[in-house]
Amino acid sequence: MRTASLFFLISVVISQPALPQAHQLRPQPLEQRLKLSEPAIVPFKLYQDYIIVAHGSIGPLQGLNLLLDTGANPAAVDRRLATKLRLVPERARNLILLNQDTPVEQVLLPSVQLGPIRAEAVPGVVQDLDPVATYLGVRIDAIIGFGVLRRTSFAIDYRSKKLLFGPVQPSRFSAPLYQGPATFTVHLQIQERPVSLLVDTGSKDLIFFGCQLPRNIHNFVATGFKTFLNSRGNEFQLREVLVSPVRIGAANFGVKPALITDDNVNCGQSLDGVVGPASLGLKWIAFDFDQLRFSWR
């Protein structure tokens, strides 16, 4: 039996209720976005070859380990850190963690600082992040997603282990970037048909929500099953398949392994799955909010 991380399940967080259809991203007004004439570099550590952890601060607490996960919405703060910050839960809510509907406490983080980015009054939830820390072998204080990262365009260089905030360097490969109320997606082509996928730095896999896929692209080549643990410690399986061809924009990635979840938790969402950059062998990615493009190398 192969057991994957709990982190994968924590990374795919979509707030209830179901999101409306995604629409193309509109740039934030300039006064609301961070203006950088040159890229600001923030080093990070890479765990399991795909998970990004950088130092930052929340409120008055500095030197925190922030896990950067573009698939996380809203931000998640560890229960012990929430106690130190004396965060008062505003209300209870349910979050979708891939295959389960999980109750959490909603809070408002006083501020989040990451390199040049400073975000005030950041919506968040309180979660037990010990399973993530155990899996990675490092303390994780919070998981930060686009609620903070969208303050400016940025690139992730996996080889040099650096975040570059500010103007994005041109790349040969790019595709339009789209936004729903809680997610940023790209359109990926499988079997010449478009699917909307969240670019998820917190996942190393290409995952499709079975109930979201058109019926005429369900005839994948099955290769087996992959076993996961959810955040409650319960095992479940995803189907392993081969998908061909896989395209984003003009780039053809050929045949790629993928996972399909057949539960109904994610039905009615504005996306059809998630794509981890590692699943396509990407070593540099960028989210350009000025040109409304996702680019890669």
pLDDT tens digits, residue range 112-165? 999 999 999 999 999 889 988 998 999 999 999 988 998 999 999 999 999 999
In a domain, 2, yes or no: no
- What CATH number is associated with residue 107? 2.40.70.10
Q: How many residues does the chain have?
A: 297
190 shares its domain with 152: no
For the ranges 6-10, 53-57, 187-191, 270-274, the lowest mean pLDDT is seen at 6-10
Residue 22: what pLDDT?
35
138 shares its domain with 183: no
CA distances from 296 to 27, 143, 173 (A): 20, 23, 6
CA-to-CA distance for 290 and 167, rounded, in angstroms?
9
Phi, psi of 147 (to 5 degrees): -55, -30
pLDDT (mean) for 257-264: 83
Residue 30: what pLDDT?
37
- Given a cut of 90, is residue 263 above it in pLDDT? no
The rounded Cα 264 to chain-centroid distance in angstroms is 20
180 shares its domain with 155: no
Find the angle CA(182)-CA(188)-CA(194) to the nearest 5 degrees: 95
pLDDT (mean) for 66-71: 94
Beta-bridged to residue 284, according to DSSP, are 157
Mean pLDDT, the chain, integer: 82
Give 67-128 as a DSSP string: EE-TT--SEEEEHHHHHHHTPPP-EEEEEEESS-EEEEEEEEEEEEEETTEEEEEEEEEEE-
CB 144 within 8 A of CB 129: no
Beta-bridged to residue 293, according to DSSP, are 176, 288
Residue 226 confidence class, pLDDT cut points 50, 70, 90: confident
Q: Give me the domain span that covers residue 79.
A: 28-165
- Given a cut of 90, is residue 180 above it in pLDDT? no
Residue 221 confidence class, pLDDT cut points 50, 70, 90: confident
- Given a cut of 70, is residue 199 above it in pLDDT? yes
Decide which of 65 and 2 is more confident.
65
Residue 216 confidence class, pLDDT cut points 50, 70, 90: low
In a domain, 154, yes or no: yes
pLDDT (mean) for 48-57: 96
In a domain, 5, yes or no: no
CB 24 within 8 A of CB 43: no
Residue 254: what pLDDT?
93
Bond preceding residue 20 cis, omega within 30 of 0: no
CA-to-CA distance for 11 and 76, rounded, in angstroms?
10
Q: How far apart are the first and last CA of the chain?
A: 34
Residue 210: what pLDDT?
79
Residue 234: what pLDDT?
65
* Helix (H), strand (E) at residue 230: none
Residue 7 confidence class, pLDDT cut points 50, 70, 90: very low
Q: Look at residues 129, 149, 165 and tell me which one is the last residue of a structural domain.
A: 165
32 shares its domain with 149: yes
88 shares its domain with 159: yes
Q: What is the pLDDT of residues 17-37, one digit of tens each?
A: 333 333 343 434 434 677 787
148 shares its domain with 38: yes
Q: Look at residues 165, 194, 229 and tell me which one is the last residue of a structural domain.
A: 165
Residue 92: what pLDDT?
59
Residue 98: what pLDDT?
53
Split into its structural domains, the chain has a count of 2
